[in-house]
Amino acid sequence: MNTTEQLERLVSLRDQGDLSEAEFEKAKAKLLSDEQVDTESVETDSGSANTSKAIPGLWPAVGVFAGNFLFISIGKGDVARGFAVGAIAAVLTIVVFAVVRAVKRS
């Protein structure tokens, strides 16, 4: 892939939201300084333009919520408790994903 193609790829990734402005500028500077940039290595953790701007860990959190909600609601017959436990577990999942994402970026 030549420099122009790599630069177009970086612009595309930035426009899709897969790269932050800082990540784009860093990769562009590296590319223009004649170092080869592997655009796959600068993509964010999300792996998809549609979810990169979403809450980190949203889908795992939905799964955790549903699992806890169903387990407690069905197992103990307490829908309110199932909802509360599911919500707490979902929030904790989102927090963990956000922290891991922040640590990986630093």
Domain boundaries, the chain: 3-42, 58-105
Per residue of the chain (106 residues), what is the pLDDT tens digit?
A: 677 788 888 888 888 888 788 888 888 888 777 644 454 455 554 454 454 456 777 878 888 888 888 888 888 888 898 899 989 988 988 888 888 888 888 7
Determine the residue type at 10.
L
Query: What pLDDT score was predicted for residue 42?
Result: 52
Query: What pLDDT score was predicted for residue 54?
Result: 64
Concatenating the DSSP letter of every residue in the chain gives --HHHHHHHHHHHHHHTSS-HHHHHHHHHHHHTT----GGGGS-TT-STTTTTSPTTHHHHHHHHHHHHHHHHHHHS-HHHHHHHHHHHHHHHHHHHHHHHHHHH-
- On whether the pTM is more than 0.95, the answer is no
